[in-house]
Amino acid sequence: MVFVFIILATRMMDIMDLMINQGISPDQFIKIILWMLPQIVLFSLPAACLMSVMLAFMRLGSDNEIIALNASGISLFQMLPSVIIFSLFTYITASLLSLYGIPWGNRAYKDYLVTITRSKTSLSIKERVFYKDIDNIVFYVNSYSTREKEMKDVFIVDKRNKQVTTTIVAESGEVIAGIKPNIINLHLKNGTSFINDRDLKNSSIMKFPTLDYQIDLGDTSSTIAARKKKPKEMFLHELRKRLKSGKVSTEEKNEIGIKLYEMFSIPLAIFILGIIGAYLGSHVKARGRSTGVIISLFVFMVYYVSLMASRYLCEMGILPPSIGVWTPVFLLLAISLFFLSRVRKNGVFGLFN
C-alpha cells in the first residue's frame, strides 16, 4: 500500500489537470484511479514481494530462530516451500495484471480521455502546444487564463472541408457552452480569416471584430472504435496479430516486442525476487526493519535500473526485445542460483564461508 500510494502521488498532477480543465466528477475521479491501479500495482509488486519475504526472515533472525533452526539441522531449502508458494501467488497475480489488467486499464483511460474531450464544451487547452487530437484541425493558443477562460493569440487551421483550407488568427477568444455536447463553440475577437482552395488558385481574406466558430467533434463511439491502439493498450492476442500483419515499422515492432515479452518477464522477475528475499533476509543480523527496507530498496533499484536500461536499448534498436527484455531476469536468476549454491555447498546460511 505504501508503494502504491507513492507511485499514485506521482500521477496526481495529470489527474488534477483533468479536474481543473475538464471538471471531472468524483465518480470519474475514482474511475481514473481504478484504471491506473493495475499498472501501479504491477510496478510495486517486485519491491513488495522482496521486502515482505525479507522482513519475515529478518524477524526469524532477530529472534534467534534462524540459529535454532540451523542447529536443529533445518536448512534454508526446507524453509523455501512457503516462500515459493507466496512467490507463486505474486507471480500469478502479476501475470493476470500484465496480461489483462494493464491493457484494460490503459485502454479504458485513453478512451475516457477521448470521451471527455468530445463531450465537454471546452478543449483541454495548453499554452504554446499544437493541439491535433481533432481530425483535420490544428489548434494553438499562446496563453490561456484558467480563471477567466480567455485565450490569447489563437491560431486555427481547419481542413475538414476537402475543397478549401481555413486559417484563422485572432487576438483573443473564449469557449462558449453549446447545446450539443459534441460541438465546440469558439467566440473569437479581433482576427483575420484566410480561406484558400486546395490548389491555391483562389483565396479570400476577411477581418472580423468578432467571429463565432463551431467545431464538430463527431460521434464519440465511432471515434473510439477507430482510434489506433498503442501497444500498452493491447492484449496478448492483439499484439501477436499486429506483429503477424507485417504492416509495422521497425520502431513500432520494437515497442510491441518490449510489451509482449514484458508480459512474461516481469512476473517471473517478481517470483525470483521472492526467493532472493529469503536468502538476504536470513543474513541481515541487525535488529529492526529499517535495515531490511534499505536493502530491499537497493536490490529493487538494481533490478529497476537494469529493466529501464534494457528497455531503452531495445527502443533504440541496439538490442532485440527477445534478448534485452529478459536480461534483468537472467541477472536475478544468476544471483538467486548463486545464493542457493552457497546454501547447498555449506549447508548453512553463510554468505562467504
**What's the pLDDT tens digit per position in 227-271?**
678 888 899 998 998 888 877 888 888 899 999 999 999 999 999
The answer on 211 and 235 residing in a single domain is no
The answer on 342 and 254 residing in a single domain is yes
Residue 96 has pLDDT above 90, yes or no: yes
Instruction: Name the band, by pLDDT with cuts 50, 70 and 90, for residue 221.
Output: very low
Please tell me whether residue 163 adopts helix, strand or coil conformation: coil
The answer on 234 and 211 residing in a single domain is no
Among 150, 182, 216, the domain boundary falls at 216
How is residue 44 written as a grid cell?
510495486
The answer on 196 and 282 residing in a single domain is no
Among 166, 194, 216, the domain boundary falls at 216
How far out from the chain centre does Cα 258 lie?
A: 14
Q: Does residue 79 fall inside a structural domain?
A: yes
**From CA 19, how far away is CA 254, in angstroms rounded?**
35
271 in Cβ contact with 90 (< 8 Å)? yes
How is residue 122 written as a grid cell?
471546452
Q: Which residue has the higher pLDDT, 295 or 104?
A: 104
Among 188, 216, 244, the domain boundary falls at 216
Q: Does residue 81 fall inside a structural domain?
A: yes
The answer on 249 and 143 residing in a single domain is no
Q: Does residue 7 fall inside a structural domain?
A: no
The alpha helices in the chain, defined as continuous H runs, are: 2-10, 12-21, 26-62, 65-71, 76-96, 102-119, 220-226, 236-245, 250-281, 290-315, 321-324, 327-346
The answer on 284 and 141 residing in a single domain is no
The answer on 212 and 150 residing in a single domain is yes
The answer on 293 and 266 residing in a single domain is yes
Q: Confirm whether pTM is higher than 0.85.
A: no
The answer on 97 and 145 residing in a single domain is no
Which of the listed ranges 3-17, 114-128, 217-231 does the model predict with the highest average pLDDT?
3-17
Q: What are phi and psi of 331, to 5 degrees?
A: -65, -45
The answer on 81 and 46 residing in a single domain is yes
Residue 22 has pLDDT above 70, yes or no: no
How far out from the chain centre does Cα 28 lie?
A: 19
As a whole number, mean pLDDT of residues 208-220 equals 74
Residue 95 has pLDDT above 90, yes or no: yes
Q: Does residue 266 fall inside a structural domain?
A: yes
Q: Which domain does 66 fall in, by range?
A: 42-101+230-346
How is residue 205 written as a grid cell?
481574406
Report how many domains make up the chain: 2
Cβ neighbors of 306 (< 8 A, separation 6 or more) are: 327, 328, 331
The answer on 247 and 188 residing in a single domain is no
Q: Does residue 179 fall inside a structural domain?
A: yes
How large is the angle between the packed helices 26-62 and 12-21, nearest 10 degrees?
170
Percent of the chain's residues with pLDDT above 90: 25
Q: Does residue 163 fall inside a structural domain?
A: yes
Lowest mean pLDDT among 59-68, 117-126, 222-231, 343-352: 343-352
Q: Which residue has the higher pLDDT, 61 or 47?
A: 47
Percent of the chain's residues with pLDDT above 70: 82
Q: Does residue 310 fall inside a structural domain?
A: yes
The answer on 238 and 89 residing in a single domain is yes
Q: Does residue 225 fall inside a structural domain?
A: no
